[in-house]
Amino acid sequence: MATTKTTKRKPAAAAAAGPSLADMHGAATRAGEAFRSLVASKYPGANDVDWEKAKDAATAGRATDLQKRLAADVELDAAFKAHIDLLQDFYAARFGPKGVLGGL
């Protein structure tokens, strides 16, 4: 008598649910690394903290020439937005649409 092996199959909803939390977190991490790398490659000696300080200084009207260039760089803005969007997607998937704090 022959035996048959049965395998468990994932429900269709689970298979079509999308990327795993680990994949989403990895994508957000890679986007953050890409942003930091872009800052360093376009502005040698600068880092993501310098970019954040430049944004604040430009808003306050006390930016140096380098800070003005950093703050006005649309490519850096787009890379940062991509990173933040991926982080928000990860946290919404992990904690629900209202996020970590429950929508406070």
Summarize pLDDT for 63-97 with one digit per residue, the tens: 999 999 999 999 999 999 999 999 999 988 998 87
Find the DSSP H helices in the chain.
12-15, 21-42, 48-60, 65-72, 74-95
Longest dimension (CA), the chain: 85
The mean per-residue pLDDT over the stretch 29-57 comes to 97
The answer, yes or no, to whether residue 42 has pLDDT greater than 80, is yes
Entry pTM: 0.77
Cα–Cα distance, 90 to 86 (Å, whole number): 6
